[in-house]
Amino acid sequence: MDKTRWNIETKAVQCGFTPKNGEPRVTPIVQSTTYKYDTCKEIADLFDLKVPGHMYSRISNPTVEVLENKMAALEGGVGALALSSGQSASTVCILNICEAGDHFVALSTLYGGTFNLFKHTLKKMGIDMTFVDPGAPVDEIKKAFKPNTKLLFGESLSNPGTQVLDFDKFSAIAKAMGVPFIVDNTFPTPCLCRPLEHGADIVIHSTTKYTDGHATSVGGIIVDGGSFDWNNGKFPGLTEPDESYHGLSYTETFGNQAYIVKARVQWIRDLGCYMSPQNAFLTNKGLETLHLRMERHSSNALALAEFLESHPGVDWVKYPLLKSDANHDLCKKYMKAGSGVLTFGPKGGRDAAERLMNSLQLAEIVVHVADVRTGVLHPASMTHRQLSDADQIKAGVLPELIRITVGIEHIDDIIADFSQALDSMG
Ligand SMILES: *Cc1c(COP(=O)(O)O)cnc(C)c1O
């Protein structure tokens, strides 16, 4: 049976772990830092990367490997690497390509944490970058690329602005510029959108969000599409001998898995931000129902968006599948449904937004998004607080904007809650 042809629902349940005769059916939590071998040579071969296997849980672990294999299957990649957070996935996916003196280009509509990492922290490490407006003309965007530009980065569905990535436009730009296209697919998840099928080369996730889906575990993952040709002269770190790995070349030794092997044996070896087995177990449990949850998150969010749009106390609503939304056509083209995140602005500005949030009873105020419970957040005073007013606007954050993460409760109860809160505003 060709498992690569399974539907996404089947992969979410079945892929990643195939127990042998008599072994546990459910992925066990291998809570061990270390692994026993009979001879020195076997461990030497592991260190030489000549054979697959585990030697130390900073670099790989059987439980985490199950999650990695499943996520690679869901996204359609050749390999994956799980990390301790989405932030470490964003950091390592860049460091694996860029070093001091290099430059990259990113869309300006990004999660606040990624924005800070790119604009400030990586710059302090000597990695320069330029933000581009996703709506700018192609010629203008191409001007942001320099001879030392090494990659293009964007979010498939931006947090919190829910802007849908124009994959055809940006994958063509990355191709023309000879750089890989990295896409953060946290919000749609592979159930609603698979970036590798639309020209992305590498996909990352904060698994803290829908992948786990129950708000139990912070984590991240990088999936390598295996499609990018690193041999165009721009990426010596992947093609030339690595002195820290006794002179092996990743592309020569590992072919189309060069990127993901390098991220593990060089960056995770040195930075040590690997996912823990316990978190991988919980995250993998979440993945088993991802397809069901994403359907309900999406249908609830669309119904709530339509309700809010019709309410006189609401100034504006943004949800990609609303007919009125500027992203409607892109969403129809690239996504199976709209996901569970929407934003809206109540009439009365920032002050009204805060009062409205305080009167909600089912929807809770949480610094989180994308789990089973409905929650609300005010990005201007929370996640995007560290950004200047101008940078907030660039990231799509207006002062009155409330982000709703729509859960999987009954839609009537969710709507009733927003209805009573809006009515109480008078
Ligand atoms: C939350 C988030 C991140 C960061 O992930 P953490 O797991 O919180 O470190 C990155 N990208 C997006 C789109 C996110 O929503």
CATH (residue range 3-286): 3.40.640.10
The CATH class of 291-423 is alpha beta
Tell me how far apart the alpha carbons of residues 332 and 352 are, in angstroms, rounded to a whole number.
33
What spacing in Å lies between the alpha carbon of 53 and ligand 1's midpoint? 30
pLDDT in tens, 216-259: 999 999 999 999 999 999 999 999 999 988 899 999 999 999 99
Using DSSP, how many helices (H) and how many strands (E) does the chain show? 19, 12
pLDDT of residue 396: 73
Q: Residue 426 pLDDT > 90, yes or no?
A: no
CB-CB contact of 16 with 215 (8 Å): no
Which residues form the pocket of ligand 1, taking CB atoms under 6 Å from any ligand atom?
85-87, 90, 111, 113-114, 155, 159, 184, 186, 206, 208-209, 218, 220
Q: What mean pLDDT, rounded, does the chain reach? A: 96
pLDDT in tens, 317-349: 999 999 999 999 999 999 999 999 999 999 999
Computed on alpha carbons and rounded to an integer, the radius of gyration of the chain in Å comes to 22
pLDDT in tens, 218-229: 999 999 999 999
What average pLDDT does range 260-271 have in this prediction? 97
Q: Is the pTM of this model over 0.85?
A: yes
pLDDT bucket at 304, cuts 50 / 70 / 90 = very high
pLDDT in tens, 139-179: 999 999 999 999 999 999 998 889 999 999 999 999 999 99
What average pLDDT does range 49-61 have in this prediction? 93
Q: Residue 284 pLDDT > 90, yes or no?
A: yes
What spacing in Å lies between the alpha carbon of 368 and ligand 1's midpoint? 10
Contact residues for 143 (Cβ-Cβ < 8 A; gap 6+): none
Mutate to test the pocket of ligand 1, among 83, 84, 85, 87 (most ligand atoms within 8 A of CB): 87
**Share of residues in the chain with pLDDT > 90 (%):** 89
Mutate to test the pocket of ligand 1, among 118, 208, 276, 283 (most ligand atoms within 8 A of CB): 208
Mutate to test the pocket of ligand 1, among 83, 85, 111, 155 (most ligand atoms within 8 A of CB): 111
Q: Residue 374 pLDDT > 90, yes or no?
A: yes
pLDDT bucket at 352, cuts 50 / 70 / 90 = very high
Q: Please report the sign of the dihedral spanned by the C-alpha atoms of residue 13, residue 19, residue 22, residue 27.
A: negative
What average pLDDT does range 279-299 have in this prediction? 98
pLDDT of residue 417: 98
- Residue ranges, CATH 3.40.640.10, the chain: 3-286
pLDDT of residue 160: 85
- Residue ranges, CATH 3.90.1150.10, the chain: 291-423
